[in-house]
Chain A
Amino acid sequence: MAGTLALTKAELTRLIHNKRYFIFTVAFPVVLYLLIGRQVKQSAYHVAFGAYYMIAMSTLGAFSGALNGNAQRISQEKKEGWIRQLRLTPLPANAYVVTKVLVSLATTVPAIVIVLLLGRFYGNIHLPAWQWPVIAVTVWFGSTIFAALAVAIGYRFAPEQVQPVTLLLYFFFAILGGLWFPLGGALGNVGQFTPTYEAVKISTDVIQGVSVPPGLAVGLAVWLGIFTALATVVVRSTAETV
């Protein structure tokens, strides 16, 4: 465990110097929120648009951070042989993946915190104090599910293939999950099964003050199970090529 933490610390140090990460994970949703968050006066998912958009943007930042950056890095490190090098050290075999997930859990925090703070002080969203941490944790959990998917993609695809694959998944889960705009109709019916939608809807239900349907939480757990299983299968099957 000490080794895993040492590696996690080194990874976080690297990340602080990475501009790309900040642009995609933090800057993009922040700018979108500043541009749009206060402009729309309707409601979405039965709450004020500003509140919905705050939740959507923090989810967007966190989920793209968990998905894009990590998949790219894992793939690159696999290609360059760093994963292989680590396998020659006393570090346990699964520590690398555990580290990547831990780093992912940490990297999604800034996007969530900053966008929620913007919502409170720029968007003038007033919520009961207990709702903020509940929303933050829900969005965080919903997004970091993608850390497992990122592991699967990073192990499965070469660096130059990772970009299109993650981009495709990014659009898929962002649009169908209703992160860019609330979805209705047929797309909305399909979209309500995505983890991004589930994370947003739990949060808006909390704000709205209605009881959260258990199906949403179960959905998140199922997605976590699916992505984790996928990552496990991919990591095991590529063991000899790493």
Chain B
Amino acid sequence: MVVLGAHGVRAGEAGRTKLKQGHYMNQYGTDYGASGHNGGSPEYATSGHIGGGSGYGGYSYTGYASRATSSTAAACGASHGGAPVVSFENVSKHYGRLRAVDGLTLDLRAGETVALLGPNGAGKSTSLDMLLALRKPTSGKIQMFGSDPYHAVKSGRVGAMLQSGGLMPEVTVRDLVTLVTTLHPRPEPVNTTLKRAGIDQFADQRVDRLSGGQTQRVRFALAICGKSELIVLDEPTAAMDVETRRLFWDSMKEEVAQGRTLLFATHYLEEADQAADRILVINRGRLLADGTPAEIKARAGAKRLSFRLDRVDEPFLLGLPGLVNLEIRRDVVQIQSSDSDATLYAVLDAGCRPREIEVSSLGLEQAFLAITAEDDATNGHANATNGHAHTGETN
């Protein structure tokens, strides 16, 4: 429970977002409420994030908290005290009638590695563009290091790499990195940057004769050529093959180990899962979930429970604690659950004797799909992600 308390610092923000998403509570509130797991822990009542009412958190947190937060609490706890590195306060960006970003509120703390996860057109790029002062929010306020984004970027405290960022042609890689390094108030040695970005092998080649993956690494070099405190990366591994991607994240971990804060946008769930200690799930410009990878998985019902049952009683199964999704085919029951233990115990407690019990983990992918699909369904946008893709990420 001590661990949970530490987590409450961040949970406060999560609570704000969840409050807006009443549909979560409406849909599942009764199921979760019936489980009764919430009542026993006073910490939850005071910490506020569960009180915010999404209902799920109450006990999926109990399942995961000890494992999931012990590492992040240790890593972030020390730095949680100061002002946020980045804060979005009810930020919106509208293009005509389209809401690319719609009331986004979030804080980043020093030392965190945060993934901004969402499908194409979710508003990730627009959010990062606004953070980096490339676009102005229609409404709301963004702050970085306590100042407006433009001055924060110009102070050299932010290093950024965007998909749409281009390179000066007709010069060598080394010349380009040297040039951008010169622009920095606190530059890193050029050779160090070349090595870290893994581009020292082709430093004397011309920039316009590189492959896509090499170009991407040069962009990365430009993002880390100064001693920045925050690094912002938009789909950093988009043009990389598997091996390059692994190398990239290895070097990225070194940057983070120096105490830098990292924010990256991705639609690779695996990447968010492995690299980030916090994930912000964003869809159609809104923040849907905010937590550790484990919490995000838990949120959507991250375990699959299946068994055979002789007499299937559907109403009973629907009332099971932790149940997120139920599928019945003849005597085969498949349940997606946010707390597979509780679900299974309830089945057993009811006197059932299921056979061929299997409990398996759902990946972040299913969790993510569940969260966004649910959001789309609630808001009546069956194909919302497709319809959105054009304008949300145009640059």
| Interfacial residues, chain A to chain B (CB-CB below 8 A) | 2-3, 6-7, 10, 13-14, 17-18, 77, 79-85, 87-93, 240-242
In the complex, which residue of chain B has the Cβ closest to the Cβ of A92? B154
Nearest 6 CB-CB pairings of A with B: A81-B166, A80-B166, A85-B165, A82-B166, A90-B156, A88-B160
DSSP class of A's interface residues: helix, strand, loop or mixed? helix
B59 to chain A, nearest CB (A): 43
Closest to B179 in A: A10
Whole-angstrom distance between the Cβ of A172 and the nearest chain B Cβ: 30
Nearest-CB distance from B252 to chain A (Å)? 17
Q: What 0/1 pattern do residues 138 to 170 of B give for CB contact below 8 A with A? A: 000000000000100111101111101111111
Cβ 8 A contact of A85, one of B136, B155, B171, B222: B222
Give the Cβ gap from B158 to chain A, nearest Cβ, in Å. 8
> A7, A17, A79, A88: which contacts B165 (Cβ < 8 A)?
A88
CB contact under 8 A between A85 and B134, given known A3-B183, A6-B183, A90-B226: no
**In the complex, residue of chain B having the shortest beta-carbon distance to the beta carbon of A15:** B170
Interface pair A82/B154, CB less than 8 Å apart: no
Interchain nearest-CB distance for B92 vs A (Å): 15
Question: Which positions 179-234 of chain B face chain A at CB distance < 8 Å?
Answer: 179-180, 182-185, 219, 222-223, 226
Choose from B132, B150, B175, B226 the contact partner of A93 (Cβ within 8 Å): B150
CA distance A2 to B164 in the complex (A): 26
| Chain B: CB-nearest residue to A18 | B170
Not counting A83-B166, A90-B185, A240-B134, a sample of 20 additional A-B residue pairs whose C-beta atoms are within 8 angstroms of each other reads: A3-B182, A6-B179, A6-B183, A10-B168, A13-B171, A13-B175, A14-B170, A79-B166, A81-B162, A82-B166, A84-B164, A87-B133, A88-B134, A88-B153, A88-B223, A89-B183, A90-B153, A90-B154, A90-B184, A242-B134
A-B Cβ contacts below 8 A, count: 84
Q: Is the beta-carbon distance between B168 and A82 smaller than 8 angstroms?
A: yes
The one of B169, B179, B182 in contact with A80, judged by C-beta atoms closer than 8 angstroms, is B169
Most buried by A among B136, B154, B219: B154
A residues less than 8 Å from B219 (CB atoms): 85
A-B contact pairs, 6 of them (CB 8 A): A14-B168, A88-B223, A89-B180, A90-B153, A90-B155, A90-B184
Closest beta carbon of chain B to A95's beta carbon, Å: 9
Nearest neighbor of B130 in chain A, beta-carbon distance? A240
Q: Is the CB of A240 within 8 A of B166?
A: no
Q: Which residues of A contact B165 (CB under 8 A)?
A: 81, 84-85, 88
Residue among A17, A82, A89, A92 with max Cβ neighbours from chain B (10 Å)? A89
Please, which residues of chain A bring their CB within 8 A of the CB of B226?
90
Q: Which residues of B contact A2 (CB under 8 A)?
A: 182
B253 within 8 A of A: no
Residue contact A241 to B179, C-beta cutoff 8 Å? no
Contacts of A89 in B (CB 8 A): 180, 183-184, 222
- Do A81 and B133 contact each other (CB < 8 Å), given the known contacts A6-B182, A90-B154? no
